[in-house]
Amino acid sequence: MEKEQLKKLIDVAAGRVPADMVIKNCKVVDVYNGELIEGDIALCEEWIAGIGTYDGIQEIDAKGQFAAPGFIDSHIHVESSYVSPEELGRLVVPHGTTTIIADPHEIVNVRGLDGLNYMIHASEGVALDIKWMLPSCVPATPWEHSGAVINAADMEAPMQNDTILGLGEFMDFPGVIHANEAVLDKLLVAKKQRKPIDGHSPGVSGLELNAYAAARIHTDHECATADELRDRISRGMYVLLRQGSACHNLKALLKGVTPLNSRRCLLCADDCQPKTILSLGHLDNHLRICVQEGIDAVSAIRMASLNAAECFGLDDRGAIAPGLRADIVLMDDLQDFKVRKVLIAGKEVAADGTYCQPIERYDISATKGSFHVKGFSKDKFGLKIHSDKAHAIKILPGGVVTEKDIVEIKRDAKGEFLYDASEDVVKVAVVERHQNTGNVAVALLKGYGIKEGAVALSVAHDSHNIIVVGVDDEEMAYAVEQLIKQDGGIVLTKNQEVLEQMPMPIAGLMSDQSGEWVDAKLTHIHAAAHEILKVNDDVEPIMTLCFMSLAVIPELKLTDMGLFDVTKFDFIKIEA
């Protein structure tokens, strides 16, 4: 802020000169005192000048609407929306979201720091303020191949950049707990710059949680129970209460939120697809759930604003008060949280559910060409098992956690697995797509339900190799080949024909189309998966499959290097 701007701000606040804009007749949500203030909000350029009685060059009559600080999503992956940063901004801003804390580890695992640079440039023309975290675990684990390796030395320069808010979720929690040298080096890069470190510690407790917290891991969004929430808060961590498209932890965690600990609680989506945003909303839906579950409305808004701002050191926002950024949401009430107007940095950017800013799309050409698959053929899907009993990844509907199950199988004369349509067990494979390693790992998946054809994706957390499931090797191979031809995304096949497909030309992770287009495509894809391929009705066919390779979430997962037991942090044989 320049001297003349500061002088003008003070003059407007004091009522000596008219405000640039005044929002008249509103009920201001005071997240500091936990109460409502009736009056006008005076704006000077991009800042709030004051609350009281003001005159402005431009005036908006709120007619008694509630004015809340702009909502802050404390942890989200843009890539998991399947749309570009520009498009995600268009989708969430009308729901009152004015800032997101984004971790681009999906695209960085595919394209390295070039992927990070694309995301930063693509967000520059977006009204939504996107704060970027530097991915901490590329690859996410040492048990898979990704498109890049980012070590502590690689992190030094980006971490010094003002565009980087902090260090992204530290998924290698065993490395932290056991004080791994390379992990310590990464943590110290952030500590030297005095920047926050996001956490990721599913199921960690006791002395191991002490060790994780001792590294000053700042947050955790992987809590599943109220006890886990309280454990982390007692150790000085902030807890991010997640409600996304894949993981619905909010209601369970709210049982642990009290007036005494709510200031350590934030709201986040983590992974949020267009369908969720278009049908339910974004953080406005989180607020509805909070109030329905008995949380005071102002406390809920505080979790979506001030708490997040304080957690991440964003001292210019998070409340409606003099001198802060004019990120303001006007709503009809504090039950349904119907958003009527959204202002970001003093500009009206959305009204009655419509985004009203021009969209400038950044060139995606540098993100294409991310498929390097060597020596692939259907023969790679052979699965010889030296037992009639085998380990299988068992899907648990409604989340990304799996179980390690033991299944009885049929084999041919050579010991190869035989698909049995009467059993809900099929082959699942991960095909390495970054380094031309030729790696293809094959295992068994239980509970997916597919009875026909195959499903192939290039979205497979977190290294984003190709993951495919199907009823026979030929069908699986055909699906993979078609996926590579279309530069990634989603492909459903039956009888060597494509049933449905959604290209994702941005690193094989994101579409360059609108959220509505992606939603329509996913609707058709889901219908085909359930109705034609017979995927189980209680299984989300795409989001579920793309997490079957995430080797940091228990219990059993598959990477391009083999079947991995997350509870033991080691590969296991398929024979049981």
pLDDT tens figures, 353-364: 999 999 989 999
Closest CA to 98 of 329, 400, 384, 427: 329
Superfamily of domain 70-317 in the CATH hierarchy: Metal-dependent hydrolases (3.20.20.140)
Contact between residue 503 and residue 488 where contact means Cβ atoms under 8 Å apart: yes
Contact between residue 320 and residue 68 where contact means Cβ atoms under 8 Å apart: yes
pLDDT the model gives residue 246: 80
The rounded distance, in Å, linking the Cα atoms of 429 and 562 is: 9
Alpha helices in 26-142 (DSSP H): 85-92, 105-111, 113-122
Query: Residue 183 contacts by C-beta under 8 Å, 6 or more apart in sequence?
Result: 170, 172, 175, 176
Residue 365, Cβ density class (10 Å: 0-12 exposed, 13-18 middle, ≥19 buried): exposed
- Terminal Cα distance for the chain, rounded: 65
Query: Residue 377 contacts by C-beta under 8 Å, 6 or more apart in sequence?
Result: 477
Per-residue pLDDT reduced to its tens digit, 15-47: 999 999 999 999 999 999 999 999 999 999 999
Give how far Cα 486 sits from Cα of 371, 457, 480, 481, 491, Å.
10, 11, 10, 9, 9
Give how far Cα 363 sits from Cα of 132, 300, 360, 367, 510, Å.
19, 38, 10, 9, 13
pLDDT the model gives residue 346: 97
Task: Return residue ranges of the chain for CATH 3.20.20.140.
Answer: 70-317
State which residues of the chain have pLDDT below 50: none
> Strand, helix or coil at 456?
strand
pLDDT the model gives residue 125: 86
The rounded distance, in Å, linking the Cα atoms of 401 and 202 is: 10
pLDDT the model gives residue 553: 85
pLDDT the model gives residue 306: 98
pLDDT the model gives residue 47: 98
- Give the H or E element holding residue 408: strand 402-408
The rounded distance, in Å, linking the Cα atoms of 219 and 196 is: 9
The rounded distance, in Å, linking the Cα atoms of 68 and 49 is: 15
Site of tokens 């960085």: 108
Query: Residue 367 contacts by C-beta under 8 Å, 6 or more apart in sequence?
Result: 107, 111, 115, 118, 505, 506, 507
Please give the torsion angle defined by the CA atoms of residues 403, 404, 406 and 412, in that order, rounded to the nearest 10 degrees.
Answer: 110
pLDDT the model gives residue 247: 85
Contact between residue 516 and residue 278 where contact means Cβ atoms under 8 Å apart: yes
The rounded distance, in Å, linking the Cα atoms of 289 and 283 is: 10
Contact between residue 473 and residue 381 where contact means Cβ atoms under 8 Å apart: yes
Closest CA to 431 of 367, 486, 380: 380
Query: Residue 226 contacts by C-beta under 8 Å, 6 or more apart in sequence?
Result: 252, 253, 255, 256
Degrees, nearest 5: CA angle 494-496-500: 50
The rounded distance, in Å, linking the Cα atoms of 370 and 507 is: 6
What is this structure's pTM? 0.94
Using the 8-state DSSP alphabet, how is residue 510 labeled? Answer: B
Residue 414 CB neighbours (<10 A): 7
The rounded distance, in Å, linking the Cα atoms of 160 and 431 is: 36
> Strand, helix or coil at 194?
coil
